[in-house]
Structure 1
Amino acid sequence: MTVKQFFFIIILALFTYSCATTKDRKLDTTSTTDSSDTLRIANDELEYEIIIIEPGFNNWLVTQRPRGYYNQQFLEIRNRQYVIEYNQRVVQPQRFDPNLYIQQINYDQYTDYGYEVNYLLYNYFLFFERQYKQRFFVSRG
């Protein structure tokens, strides 16, 4: 895998809480969300894929600040911080619930994933904090 390639999958679903069926969607920067419980973002050129399987995420997302509210640089900085903290929790199953922190996220700060990926990842972290009562940072700017 080169630095330009990026593979990561976020699959965080508590199967005991979800009996709903899911479907995959391929998103680009012009896509909108729906009530599906599975969100797939892929880019064949950069060879990355994000899959979010989370009941309620898409419904929650439409209630958040709209695309364009944050600039891409802000989202990239926050996502790097979240990914570092999240990955540290993955490797500490004795301290953090391994059912929540399943798999590390491979987020390369030198790769331009574009606005849509950064927007969705940032909002997923916000959703994750709220949904599972997790706190990644003491204060939020």
Structure 2
Amino acid sequence: MKTLQHIISLSIVGIMLWACSSAPLKDASNSQKEEPVVIANDSLEYEIIIIDPGFTTYLNSIAKPEGFYSQQYLENKNSLYVTTWNYRAQNPLQFNSTIYENVIDYSPHIDYGYEVNYKLFNYFEFAQRKYRMSLGVGINRWN
């Protein structure tokens, strides 16, 4: 199966590593393991697996609901974010290589569908908040 991206994850050394499980999400009431978020478009054979503690909570509580953004809006933002992310991943001496470990294979010419674009967009939004970075306008603005 082709992958849109191998895996987006957080571990002690970085947020993008091959992994089979996620780190536990700490909760005051109980300790439950946060499940990875799998984003797939079976007809295109693309898949994203996000294993970053807190992303599921972000997706369920802070992110705008599905349908809030148009698919075109999400595709445009993802193209911008992926371009910035990939630039940083290809320049590990200039940018934090523990954050930008892998290049993301995302083509604006492929229709990945709404769900893939929605969850990828929200991962970028989550990562910007969590790691206090900007993937927007200026490539050299933050990390």
TM-score bracket, shorter-length normalisation: 0.7 to 0.9
Q: Deviations over 1:58-106 (max 9, x none)?
A: 1011222111110000000000000000000001111111110010000
TM-score scaled to structure 2, two decimals? 0.76
TM-score scaled to structure 1, two decimals? 0.77
CA distance in 1 between partners of 2:23 and 2:50 (Å)? 16
What residue in structure 2 maps to residue 107 of structure 1?
A: 106
SS in 2 for 1:103: coil
CA distance in 2 between partners of 1:135 and 1:7 (Å)? 22
What residue in structure 1 maps to residue 81 of structure 2?
A: 82
Matched-pair contact (CA < 8 Å) for 1:10–1:105: no
Number of matched pairs? 123
CA distance in 2 between partners of 1:6 and 1:61 (Å)? 21
Matched-pair contact (CA < 8 Å) for 2:128–2:135: yes
CA distance in 2 between partners of 1:71 and 1:77 (Å)? 10
Residue type of the alignment partner of 2:38? R
